[in-house]
Amino acid sequence: MQRDLYSRLLDWKEKNDRKPLVLKGARQVGKTYIVNQFGKKEFDDCVIINCDKDERVAGIFSRGFRTDRIISDIEILSGRKIIPGKTLIFIDEIGEVPNALASLKYFCEDSPEYHIIVAGSLLGLAIHGGINYPVGKVDELTLYPLSFSEFVRAKESTACADKLVKDELSELESLGALYEQLLRQYYFTGGMPEVVQGYVNGKDISELRDMQKRILADYALDISKHAAGSILGRIHQVWNSIPQQLVKSNKKFIYGDIQKGARAKDFELAIEWLLDAGIIYRIPRVRKARIPLKFYEDFSAFKLFLHDHGLMGAMVDAPISEILLKDNIFSEYKGSFTEQYVFEQLICKKGGGVFYFDSEDTKLELDFLIQKENILVPIEVKAEENLRSKSLRQFYQNHPDSRPVRISMSPYRKEDWLVNIPLYAAERIPGMEISAI
Question: Stretch 330-354: mean pLDDT, rounded?
Answer: 85
C-alpha span between 212 and 307 (Å, rounded): 13
C-alpha span between 214 and 197 (Å, rounded): 15
Question: Stretch 210-238: mean pLDDT, rounded?
Answer: 94
The candidate with the shortest Cα–Cα distance to 23, out of 121, 133, 128, 130, is: 121
* CB-count burial class (<10 Å; 0-12, 13-18, 19+) for 435: exposed
C-alpha span between 215 and 221 (Å, rounded): 10
pTM of the predicted protein model = 0.93
Residue 213 or residue 351, greater confidence? 213
CA dihedral 300, 306, 307, 310 (to 10 degrees): -160
Coil, helix or strand at residue 10? helix
Tell me what percent of the residues of the chain surpass a pLDDT of 90.
Answer: 78
Q: Report the relative pairing of strands 297-306 and 21-24 from DSSP bridges.
A: unpaired
Looking at residue 385, what is its pLDDT?
Answer: 61
Distance of CA 53 to the CA centre of its chain: 26
Question: Stretch 43-66: mean pLDDT, rounded?
Answer: 93
Looking at residue 121, what is its pLDDT?
Answer: 82
Question: Stretch 88-102: mean pLDDT, rounded?
Answer: 93
C-alpha span between 95 and 100 (Å, rounded): 8
Residue 332 pLDDT more than 70? no
User: What rounded mean pLDDT belongs to the chain?
Assistant: 92
**Do residues 193 and 178 make contact, with C-beta atoms less than 8 angstroms apart?**
no
Looking at residue 48, what is its pLDDT?
Answer: 95
Range in 10-24, 124-138, 401-415 the model is least confident about: 124-138
H helical segments located in 141-263: 148-155, 158-166, 176-189, 193-200, 205-226, 229-246
Distances in whole angstroms, Cα of residue 108 to Cα of each of 44, 62, 102, 104, 317: 22, 19, 11, 6, 47
Q: What is the largest CA-CA distance in the chain?
A: 68
Residue 350 or residue 7, greater confidence? 7
The candidate with the shortest Cα–Cα distance to 34, out of 108, 113, 145, 127, is: 145
- pLDDT digits over 243-273, tens only? 999 888 788 999 998 988 888 899 999 999 9
Looking at residue 370, what is its pLDDT?
Answer: 96
pLDDT band at 13 (very low <50, low <70, confident <90, very high): very high
Residue 334 pLDDT more than 60? no
Q: What DSSP designation does 109 have?
A: H
Residue 386 pLDDT more than 70? no
Tell me what percent of the residues of the chain surpass a pLDDT of 70.
Answer: 96
Bridge partners of residue 370, in order along the sequence? 377
C-alpha span between 7 and 24 (Å, rounded): 16
pLDDT band at 351 (very low <50, low <70, confident <90, very high): confident
C-alpha span between 369 and 376 (Å, rounded): 7
pLDDT band at 65 (very low <50, low <70, confident <90, very high): very high
Looking at residue 217, what is its pLDDT?
Answer: 97
Question: Stretch 123-138: mean pLDDT, rounded?
Answer: 79
C-alpha span between 225 and 188 (Å, rounded): 29
Residue 121 or residue 411, greater confidence? 411
Q: Could you give the domains of the chain? A: 5-142 (3.40.50.300), 205-436 (no CATH)
Coil, helix or strand at residue 105? helix
pLDDT band at 331 (very low <50, low <70, confident <90, very high): low
Give Rg (Cα) of the chain: 23
pLDDT band at 200 (very low <50, low <70, confident <90, very high): very high
Question: Stretch 348-376: mean pLDDT, rounded?
Answer: 89
Looking at residue 329, what is its pLDDT?
Answer: 66
